């Protein structure tokens, strides 16, 4: 939902927002190294709580549909579904959360802020709400507040996706010009979920941002051994290889961009010779 860049050789879009199963780990404090915006008691994400009545059941169905449409980029249809959900139950917090995401996508910041706050009013410790609001605050460059909400999401013991708020926290730290702090968060995200391709890519990206091109090159080698290459991972690999004078690797990455990813944004940068 947001593209942040200060050098053409490190490009990112989107924030981490995906479903996962709940955990029953006992309550704990956040280990994100900042104070959470909420200190408990924690409960399960409200989207996991069974509907209490028919109105809430209808609201839930349309909220879930709206989330699916939003994920497909059909923002206006998602907005219609969110409105139907709130018509069914005006207090249904996950529908307000959906509204916040939609308004954030539409760059209607005042409405997004209000919708997220209404959701958090019903679920101040909800990890999804805090994760999303943290990203919204990061976009507003309210970095300290953003990190506090990511810490709340990470601290919720019923939230299995510990890597998610850490990755978003790392992205926020990169945007605030703290690549060292971002690298710590991405490394911890990878510890929390060793299968996270996003955490590994972002760890390589943070290393590149810090000028540690060798580390970025090595991490991207691991990435391409474990996961399918993407235009952004190949582009970052090419940039790191150029910095290191690794001509064979640079040629390989260049060939991939010209072949598999010729129509990508990164492929266009290659054709224009815009490496920095």
Q: Give the pLDDT confidence of 42-92 residue by residue, as tens digits.
A: 999 999 999 999 999 999 999 999 999 999 999 999 999 999 999 999 999
Closest CA to 49 of 110, 114, 123, 107: 123
For 94-151, give the DSSP string.
HHHHHHHHHHHHTT-HHHHHHHHHHHHHH-TT-HHHHHHHHHHHHHTT-HHHHHHHHH
Q: What is the pLDDT of residue 15?
A: 58
Q: What is the pLDDT of residue 17?
A: 54
With a cut of 60, say whether residue 9 has pLDDT above it. no
4 membership: H or E segment, kind and range: strand 3-7
Q: What is the pLDDT of residue 162?
A: 86
13 membership: H or E segment, kind and range: strand 10-13
Class level of CATH domain 44-122: mainly alpha
CA dist 254 → 35, 126, 213, 238 (Å): 44, 44, 17, 7
**pTM given for the model:** 0.87
Q: What is the pLDDT of residue 160?
A: 81
Both ends of the chain: CA-CA distance in Å? 23
- Give me the residue spans of the domains in the chain: 23-39+124-210, 44-122, 213-276
The rounded mean pLDDT for the chain is 90
Same fold, 23-39+124-210 and 44-122: yes
Average pLDDT over residues 213-230: 97
Q: What is the pLDDT of residue 31?
A: 62
With a cut of 70, say whether residue 241 has pLDDT above it. yes
With a cut of 80, say whether residue 4 has pLDDT above it. no
Q: Which of 57-66, 118-127, 152-161, 242-251 has the lowest mean pLDDT?
A: 152-161
Going by pLDDT thresholds of 50, 70 and 90, the confidence category of residue 16 is low
Q: What is the pLDDT of residue 5?
A: 30
CATH (residue range 23-39+124-210): 1.25.40.10
With a cut of 80, say whether residue 183 has pLDDT above it. yes
Q: Which of 4-13, 33-42, 71-80, 143-152 has the lowest mean pLDDT?
A: 4-13
With a cut of 90, say whether residue 194 has pLDDT above it. yes
Average pLDDT over residues 27-53: 84
């Amino acid at each position: 939902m947001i593209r942040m860049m200060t050098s053409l050789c490190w490009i990112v879009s989107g924030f981490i927002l995906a479903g996962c199963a709940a955990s029953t780990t006992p309550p704990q404090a956040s280990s994100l190294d900042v104070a959470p915006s909420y200190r408990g008691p924690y409960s399960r994400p409200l989207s996991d709580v069974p509907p209490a009545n028919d109105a809430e059941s209808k609201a839930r169905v349309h909220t879930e549909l709206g989330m699916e449409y939003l994920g497909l980029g059909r923002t206006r249809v998602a907005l219609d579904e969110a409105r139907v959900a709130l018509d069914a139950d005006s207090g249904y917090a996950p529908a307000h959360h959906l509204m916040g995401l939609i308004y954030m996508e539409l760059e209607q910041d005042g409405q997004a802020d209000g919708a997220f706050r209404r959701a958090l009013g019903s679920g101040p410790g909800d990890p999804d709400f805090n994760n999303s609001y943290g990203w919204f605050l990061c976009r507003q460059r309210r970095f300290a507040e953003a990190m506090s909400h990511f810490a709340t999401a990470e601290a919720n013991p019923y939230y299995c996706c510990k890597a998610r708020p850490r990755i978003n926290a790392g992205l926020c730290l990169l945007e605030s010009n703290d690549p060292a702090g971002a690298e710590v968060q991405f490394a911890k995200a990878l510890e929390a979920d060793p299968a996270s391709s996003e955490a590994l890519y972002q760890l390589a990206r943070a290393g590149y941002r810090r000028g540690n091109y060798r580390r970025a090159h090595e991490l991207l080698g691991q990435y391409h051994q474990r996961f399918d290459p993407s235009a952004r991972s190949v582009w970052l690999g090419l940039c790191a290889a150029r910095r290191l004078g690794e001509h064979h690797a640079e040629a390989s990455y260049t060939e991939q961009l010209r072949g598999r990813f010729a129509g990508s944004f990164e492929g266009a940068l290659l054709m224009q010779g815009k490496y920095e």
